[in-house]
Amino acid sequence: MKHWSRGRLAVLMVALVVLIAAVVGGVTWIMSSRSAKTAPLNGAFSNIVVTAAAGSGLIYPWKQVRVTADWKVPDRTPAGTTFSLSWPVAQLKGVGGTLSLKNENNDTIENCVLWASSLDCVLTSFVTTHPYNIQGTVWFTLTQVNIPENSTITIPFASGTTAEAVRYVTTGSVANTFTGITYYKDVWVHDGKVTWYVYLPGGTSGQATDYTNVVVAEMLGGSQDYQQTFLPGTFSLDHGTKLNPAGTWPVWETASPRLYTVTPSSSGAFTFAAPKLAAGGWWRLVYDVTVVPSTYKGSISDTAKASWDKQSPLTATYSEVYVEGGGTGNGHAR
């Protein structure tokens, strides 16, 4: 066994005391740092309502919806405090974007980020000098995911641990009896992409005759605020030969790519050509585009011109909300 001198033992004891003090001080600093962080607020959002993206009208199960809510935090809530509103992505999904909620003087009260499954907001320094009556409203659009037709939908929104079940009805669904398809366009906004559809006309049992020398010229809408870019690898031609069990809509299957060619003329335009699309079913073109910039808020549009033998050229244009949002905020000094 090794023996220590009294002098060395005294030095060792001093070093041990210093070490213990350093450890305790470090633990105290860590604990104080953690406690200094503001925990997310619970129940900041309330009075949640789901409507059509336009704010009124029928809700179709494949279209965007608008979520509107009130928000409020306790007096003297410090700047930097966060709070969120979330929803199940199996039902609704955010495309993305940012929101700045301002008062009538254009002061930003809070900044929010829209994610796939939540809207996350943080208070600005404005509330430091205006710590009372901090509240406002917010609205934003979401994509519906696997929402059934002609149904009452329940969405379990959550503001922290506070839940609020919101119901709405998809009364804008297709008719209960299939009446055929006219030449038209449609769109589905989802997952940072946009899927466009071009439907060729067909009656209740499909086309009565073959469509020969079919040409569809696509021109993606754009402006100084946004551009759409065609994604070539996503193109498909769908064919339906029967209706779904409810008898309301065709069951679509991917047709052979040997039936057609697609020739891009720019990043925002292409031409589809097919020598023959047989009678006895329904046909549609499907393709994806991306929208730039990623921060764009507003609507998108597209135009498709189609022709085939013995058919005068047809034109279809469609516009849809891509992502939109806004809201208000306020706070008082006294």
Q: Give the start-to-end residue ranges of the domains of the chain.
A: 45-172, 184-321
Distance CA 334, CA 274 (A): 71
At residue 131, the 3 state secondary structure works out as: coil
Count Cα atoms within 13 angstroms, Cβ side, for 59.
27
Same CATH topology for 45-172 and 184-321: the answer is yes
Q: What is the mean pLDDT of residues 122-147?
A: 96
Rounded to 10 degrees, what is the CA torsion of 55, 56, 58, 59? 20
CATH code linked to domain 184-321: 2.60.40.740
Topology annotation, domain 45-172: Immunoglobulin-like (2.60.40)
- β partners of residue 211: 277
Distance CA 40, CA 234 (A): 41
Q: What is the mean pLDDT of residues 295-319?
A: 92
Q: What is the mean pLDDT of residues 95-123?
A: 95
pLDDT tens for each residue of 162-196 = 999 999 999 876 667 889 999 999 999 986 689 99
Indicate whether 206 pLDDT > 90: yes
Indicate whether 245 pLDDT > 80: yes
What's the farthest any 2 CA atoms get from each other in the chain?
Answer: 112
End-to-end CA distance of the chain: 74
pLDDT at residue number 227: 92
Q: Which residues contact 139 (CB under 8 A, 6 or more apart)?
A: 66, 67, 68, 69, 325, 326, 327
